[in-house]
C-alpha cells in the first residue's frame, strides 16, 4: 500500500477511537460519578501516521448535589439527604472535540482521495 495512504488510514482509525470515547462521554453526561475519558494521540511507528497513545480518565471531581434518598432503619424507612457527585463531563468541551475529530477525519479522507487521483493520473500517463 502507498505509505501516504497507510498513514492516513492509521489516522482515520485513531480519530475513530477518539470520536467513540467522546460519544461515550456525552452519553454519560447524566451518570453520577462518571469521569470524562480523553484520548491522547501520538505519531505512529517510524514517524508516520497517527496512533492512540492512551485513553485516560479526568480525575477532576464533578459537582456535588444533595439527593433525598430512602434509608431502611429498624423502625421502617426514613429519608435522609446524601451528597452525590455528578458527572464531570463538560458538554461544550466534548462538542469541540467532536468538531476537531470531524475536521481531522475529513482532511484525511481528502488526502486519500487526492493520492488516489494522483496514482490514477500517473497510471493513465503510463498506459
Residue 116: the pLDDT is: 83
CA distances from 79 to 31, 47, 63 (A): 22, 60, 22
Decide: 61 and 71 in contact? Cβ < 8 Å: no
Q: What is the pLDDT of residues 2-53, one digit of tens each?
A: 666 788 899 999 999 999 999 999 999 999 999 999 999 999 888 888 899 9
pTM value? 0.79
pLDDT attached to residue 123: 73
Where residue 71 falls (left for φ over 0; alpha for ψ -120 to 50; beta otherwise) is beta
In this prediction, residues 63-85 reach a mean pLDDT of 83
Within 10 A of 25 (CB to CB), how many other CB atoms are there?
24
Place of cell 475513530: 16
Which one has a higher pLDDT value, 108 or 79?
A: 108
Amino acid at each position: 500500500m502507498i505509505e501516504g495512504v497507510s498513514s492516513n488510514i492509521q489516522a482515520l482509525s485513531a480519530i475513530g477511537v477518539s470520536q467513540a470515547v467522546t460519544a461515550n462521554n456525552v452519553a454519560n453526561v447524566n451518570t453520577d460519578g462518571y469521569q470524562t475519558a480523553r484520548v491522547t494521540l501520538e505519531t505512529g511507528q517510524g514517524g508516520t501516521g497517527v496512533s492512540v497513545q492512551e485513553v485516560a480518565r479526568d480525575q477532576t471531581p464533578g459537582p456535588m448535589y444533595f439527593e433525598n434518598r430512602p434509608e431502611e432503619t429498624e423502625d421502617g424507612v426514613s429519608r435522609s439527604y446524601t451528597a452525590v457527585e455528578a458527572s464531570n463531563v463538560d458538554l461544550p468541551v466534548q462538542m469541540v472535540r467532536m468538531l476537531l475529530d470531524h475536521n481531522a477525519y475529513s482532511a484525511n479522507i481528502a488526502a486519500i482521495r487526492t493520492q488516489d487521483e494522483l496514482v490514477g493520473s500517473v497510471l493513465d500517463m503510463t498506459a
